[in-house]
Structure 1
Amino acid sequence: MRSALNSPKRTPTARPGRDRFTAESYTVLADTSIDAGQHYWEVRFDKESKAFAVGVALRSLGRFDQLGKSSASWCIHLNNWLQQSLTAKHNNKARTLDCTIPNRIGVYVNYDEASS
């Protein structure tokens, strides 16, 4: 992966190894586009995170775009503010998932199957 796109309010924490994603919002994108084959990645849930999303986009996202807000991206979003919730998002629509909050979320993309 390439480095995160930082918000201007990035501030390191006192805890070692925890200063990469401490600002209000970050987007981490892969450094290689997917145009064939099968791919899988996961994100482990940090219990101190207030929220995060993992997903895919058909094209590059703009600097202020978010996964799941357009017809060209999908994501699973975990909200951990006052009450935990897990939501699937696409095309600026959200559906709450009725399941326990996992320790990690995995994404599987089968590009060859999708393009058939």
Structure 2
Amino acid sequence: MALFLNMPLCFRLAGRTAGAVALGPKRGTAFLTRRLYVAVSTQNQLQFKLDERTAHSSLDLFKKDTGVIYRMLGLDPTHVQDSPLRFCDWAVVFADSRIESGRHYWEVTVKKSQEFRMGVADAAMPRDECIGTNSSSWVFSYVQRKWYAMTTNKLVPVSLVGKPERVGLLLDFDAGWLSLVDTQTSKVVHTIKTQFRTPVCPAFALWDGEILTHSGLEVPPGL
């Protein structure tokens, strides 16, 4: 049985330590269930872009909204459109696609970041929470040169040595699992098992550098 490790969150939000951020009251989430996402086909080639309306103001999208870069001072507030979909306290961004069934695979170039999380989260997740800290998100975290599987703010060490330039994520919605894939060997490194009760979106958090997403990919043979 894997042991959950409790470790302090050391991520930064717009140049401040996470512990120094005073979280405001929870916003209502009813509107999120009415959000119009890009339709997901029943096939296994999920195609998505990052949704600017969800991106925290410290995150800037690039390369036709497939990449995201962290800016410590944040974007000029006058350039950020006010949106109830936007994450208000944490450097998080969602993809614009909602997943309700099937097996889906995408990859992420991570070589230019040393502190990030990536995975999936309920489409209606509260916008004042961070992915990995609640029971409605399932992510893989890279921090202090180590990998972890993370949900409900508990971390399980992942035995992925070093940090490859690019990693894969394989989601089986119906079976209830999310896997981290070594793209060099096309093998599963670690799997998070759960039961998805509501539609989920690819989700990302970033505290330095940049990451680039690659969707529209077929599930690699053998996975």
Q: TM-score w.r.t. structure 2 length?
A: 0.40
The one-letter code of the counterpart of 1:105 is V
Q: What's 2:146 paired with?
A: 85
Deviations along 1:63-88, whole A, 9 cap, x unmatched?
Answer: 23222111121111112xxx411111
The structure with more radius of gyration = 2
- Cα distance in 2 for partners of 1:61, 1:50 equals 25
Among candidates 132, 135, 139, match of residue 71 of structure 1: 135
Task: From the two aligned structures, give the one with the greater strand fraction.
Answer: 2
Q: Structure 2 vs 1, CA of residues 112 and 10 (structure 1 numbering), >3 Å: closer, same or farther?
A: closer
RMSD: 2.7
The one-letter code of the counterpart of 2:172 is N
Q: What's 1:26 paired with?
A: 91
Deviations along 1:80-106, whole A, 9 cap, x unmatched?
Answer: xxx411111111101222321222222
Runs of 4+ in 1 over 6 A off after TM superposition: none
Q: TM-score w.r.t. structure 1 length?
A: 0.71
Q: What's 2:117 paired with?
A: 53
Number of aligned residue pairs: give it: 105
Among candidates 93, 98, 102, match of residue 159 of structure 2: 98
Q: Structure 2 vs 1, CA of residues 46 and 71 (structure 1 numbering), >3 Å: closer, same or farther?
A: same
Gapped regions of structure 1 (runs ≥ 5): none
- Contact 1:54–1:105 (8 Å) recurs in 2: no
- Cα distance in 2 for partners of 1:58, 1:20 equals 20
Gapped regions of structure 2 (runs ≥ 5): 1-48, 73-89, 177-194, 196-223
Matched residue SS, 1:102: coil
